Structure formats: C-alpha cells, structure tokens
A and B are shown apart, each in its own frame.
Chain A
Amino acid sequence: MNQKIAIEKKVLSENDRLAKQIRVRLMEHNVIALNLVSSPGSGKTSLLEKTLGALNERLDIALIAGDVQTENDANRLVNAGGKIVRPIVTGGACHLDAKMVGRALEEIDLAAVKILFIENVGNLVCPSSYDLGENMKVVLISATEGDDKPLKYPAMFRRSSVMVVNKIDLIGLSDFDLKRVRENALSINPELKIFEISCRTGEGLESWFDWLLNLSEHLSKT
C-alpha cells in the first residue's frame, strides 16, 4: 500500500533558512541590505554608480553584483569608487540565491559596512521567489519599458518596498506614461515608495540619496 507522508514545507525552505541566517548576521552588524531587481538594462548598475559618486564618503557602502556572465557590473562599481565590491557569476542561474550571497558575504567585513546593495541578475520573474536576507527589495523600471510592467509582474512589485522609475529624461520618446505606471504600481502594491529619476541627467537623484541617508540613520537608532 502506498504510504502518504506529510511534508508541509516550502519548496524554497532551504533558501529561506540560509536567508534567515544572512538576515541575522546583517542585523547583528547593523547593516541595511537592499536587493535591487529589474529587467535587464533598466539601470541598476547606473543607479549604484551615481549612489557611490554622491554617498561613498558619507556612508560605508558594500556591493554585491550578480550576473549570469562577466564581472562587468562589479568592475563598473569598482571604477565608480566602490571600496567593497564582490561579484557573483551565476553561470546560468537567472537569479541570485541565499547560498551565493552567503558565500559572497564571507569575504566582506560587515563591521565596516553600513549599507549593502545586492544587484540581482536582470530578471523580474525568478528573483521574487528567492529571499536573500535583505531588508527590502527595490524594483527598477525604466521609461523605455511598458508602463504596464507592474501589472505583468505582480509578485515582484508586491514584494518590493520601493520602485525607482529611471530614464525619465526619455519620456515622450515612447508611449510610456508616468502617471499610468504610478497608478499601475500602486494598484498592485499601495505601500510602494516611488522615486522618479534619470541617472543620465541627475534629475530626481537627490530624493533617492536623501532617502538612503535617512534610512541608515533611522535604522541605526533601532
């Protein structure tokens, strides 16, 4: 007779377990971790380059840059002044997982870090399932994509705390509508904090920098 065995476990329970370990480690060192996600080419690396340019002297920033192939993004971040940068080359996996991030963190002295940026692989599907131990997900979308993106990827937009709309200098060159993308995003996740920026022209970046500075202050006090 066939035996039914109750399991009642999440498929990703192993990843969740490792992510929890990371979360505990980060909390012990008072490190804020942001998991940056987006479709390929929305501007994650550019945003981090600009962030380094403005805040590197004021905040201790560490960065983990994940990609399927090459360390190009990690190299760009080093060139932009990143003092603590670890690349992760997945070699095929379309997302970062807690195991990979845990390994990268072993090479970082967390006592010297205030904010950890994890630049995920460009992909709005898979990364939403994989907890990396972060404080929050920041989802980027650019003005050259469709403004219905949040509706097409509800899981990701629902699990994010912040949405950054990049390339706003290009609005008008396509049918992308800023009001529509805001409405779409908020219908999926009413709690989303929204930044509208252009990495290229610098527009809107001050709000992002201020928010990051306040974040680190706010979380230091707790």
Chain B
Amino acid sequence: MLKMHELSIAQEIILAVEQEALKRHLTTVAEIKLKIGALAGVDPESLNFGFEASTLGTPLEKTKLNIEWINVKGKCRTCGRSISIDDLIFLCPNCDSADIEILQGEELDIEYLIAG
C-alpha cells in the first residue's frame, strides 16, 4: 500500500514538473528539490522508487529527486512554547496543553528545479 501511495505522489510530481518545464521552455530537468514533512505520510525511499519507475523512458529519466525531510515543529497556543514533535504526540511538554499549532512538518512541496 505504501508503494502505491508514493507511486501516485510521484506521478503528481511528474505532472507538475512537466507543466513547469513546458511553461518555462525547459528541455531537461537535472534535479527536483522537494520538501517532505514527516506528517505528509510520504516515504522518501518509496517515492524515489516510484519516481524512477515512472520516468523510465521519458524525458525525466535522468532527473534526480533531492528530498529535504522536514521534522514536525509546533507552538503551544497555551503557554507559547516552541516544541519538536518527534513522536507525533501533540501535547505540550511544558504545560500539557493539547492546543498545538503546527509550524512545519506537513509539507509536500516542490521547492525548485535545476534545469540542464
């Protein structure tokens, strides 16, 4: 199931990049820089696998994925403390409040492309 999910995400990346390449008249894309948050539910290894499988025999065949993994960070709305949420438990270690604002960790973004 994980591989199928990353396969569909890989295909979305390919579609988005193909659109950008068309818009900007790029013939080749050397690298796609991605930001993937720990909460996005996407496994980087499976994503690479899915991307390679989907680009075989296409103009993006030699394109590399550069994946930046973003850990979950939040801010407690009750006491204002900034917290790292590594175990995905959304409770403030300072005041025990569950009212946490997520500051980062949900990204599934294309940051930039490197043409050429």
Please give the residue numbers on chain A whose beta carbons come within 8 Å of chain B beta carbons, in ascending order: 1-15, 93-95, 123, 125-126, 128-129, 151, 153-156, 158, 186-190
Contacts and interface: CB of A to CB of B under 8 A. Distances in A.
B20 A5 contact: yes
Contacts, number: 97
Contact of A151 (B30, B88, B91, B116): B88
27 contacts: A2-B115, A3-B116, A5-B112, A6-B111, A7-B20, A8-B109, A8-B110, A9-B20, A10-B109, A11-B13, A11-B109, A14-B19, A94-B4, A95-B5, A123-B1, A125-B5, A126-B5, A129-B40, A129-B41, A154-B88, A155-B41, A158-B39, A187-B89, A187-B91, A187-B98, A188-B89, A190-B98
A126 B8 contact: yes
A94 B115 contact: no
A158 B37 CA distance: 14
Contact of B16 (A14, A128, A151, A189): A14
Contacts of A11: 9, 12-13, 16, 34, 108-110
B41 A9 contact: no
B4 A126 contact: yes
Contacts of B8: 93-95, 126
| Chain B contact patch, size range | 35 or more
Contacts of B90: 158, 187-190
A90 B28 CA distance: 32
Main secondary structure of the interface of A (DSSP, over half): mixed
A68 to B, nearest CB: 10
Contacts of B110: 7-11
- Shortest beta-carbon contacts, A-B, top 4: A190-B98, A2-B116, A155-B41, A3-B115
A9 B32 CA distance: 12
Given A1-B116, A158-B90, 4 more contacts: A7-B20, A11-B108, A125-B2, A129-B41
B38 to A, nearest CB: 9
Contacts of A151: 88
Nearest to B2: A125
Contacts of B15: 14
A158 B91 CA distance: 13
Contacts of B16: 9, 11, 13-14
Given A3-B115, A11-B108, A154-B88, A94 B5 contact: yes
A15 B90 CA distance: 28
Given A11-B16, A128-B41, A158-B39, A190 B99 contact: yes
